[in-house]
Amino acid sequence: MTPIDLAAKLSQFDATWTPHVVADLNGQQVKLAKLEGAFVWHDHADEDELFWVVSGRLRIEFRDAPDAVLGPGQIVVVPRGVEHRPVAEPTAEVVLFEPATTKHTGDVDSERTVRDLPRL
Amino acid sequence: MTPIDLAAKLSQFDATWTPHVVADLNGQQVKLAKLEGAFVWHDHADEDELFWVVSGRLRIEFRDAPDAVLGPGQIVVVPRGVEHRPVAEPTAEVVLFEPATTKHTGDVDSERTVRDLPRL
């Protein structure tokens, strides 16, 4: 029950597209990530995913819907099964809230897939 | 998949201690609340609860642990079954992340209990 300072945690790593777990609750996890440029197209078959932009600008592309463009203090929920591609313009710091089972590249096995997420 | 601007949503209500639901995912909800002064002691038997302070200062008292004191950009998870009392000093705007089933006063039926949470 110790407070977690998100800016302090973000200062502890530089790696992009590598979610770091900072809290667990109800089978869900809070993760921090630094994003730069475009990620891979992917979806999560069984998991909704929340993005909360802390700094920078994030555009999320969808196959059949307008892009979601987010700045600091804005959130979006990507429903399960919806293919999406996050694109940081040019960088963004985000908080992710999603089930502990969620893989950040979904069912896509990419060179960017990180299998054991670090914890802060 | 429309972005949600948290500051804009917070500007839409004044009521304190009345969580407003802004998003649903994975059986969990994202809620916004304005807090002022002390709330009631309560716990949630089966639900962990995340507080994220957006503005102001929030102290959370526990029966058997040091207070958690949070400012903007700081979060804390109160585990299920842990009795707690949030105290805004003097006010705070917070985001709550918790199961959709969570009642904000837990099993305590108080004059402050809001049964059907508003949605924004």
Contact with chain A for residue B23, Cβ under 8 A: yes
- CATH number for the domain harbouring residue B65: 2.60.120.10
b (16+ CB within 10 A) / e for B45-60: eebbbbbbbbebbbeb
Q: Match 């963004």 to its residue by tokens.
A: A92
Q: Do A73 and B99 touch (CB under 8 A)?
A: no
Residue A116 lies in a domain: no
A61, closest residue in chain B (CA to CA): B1
Average pLDDT over residues B38-48: 95
Domain region containing B94: 23-120
A64, closest residue in chain B (CA to CA): B1
Residue A109 lies in a domain: no
**How many domains does chain A divide into?**
1
Residue A104 lies in a domain: no
Residue B17 lies in a domain: no
Q: Give this complex's ipTM.
A: 0.93
Burial of A76 (0-12, 13-18, 19+ CB in 10 A): buried
Residue A14 lies in a domain: yes
Residue A44 lies in a domain: yes
Report how far residue A35's alpha carbon sits from residue A71's, in angstroms, rounded to the nearest whole number: 13
Residue B2 lies in a domain: no
**Per-residue confidence in pLDDT tens, chain A, 120 aa:** 999 999 999 999 999 999 999 999 999 999 999 999 999 999 999 999 999 999 999 999 999 999 999 999 999 999 999 999 999 999 999 999 999 988 888 877 787 888 788 999
Shortest distance between the Cα of A42 and any Cα of chain B, in A, equals: 16
Q: Match 């029950």 to its residue by tokens.
A: A1
Closest by CA position to A119, among listed A1, A12, A34 = A12
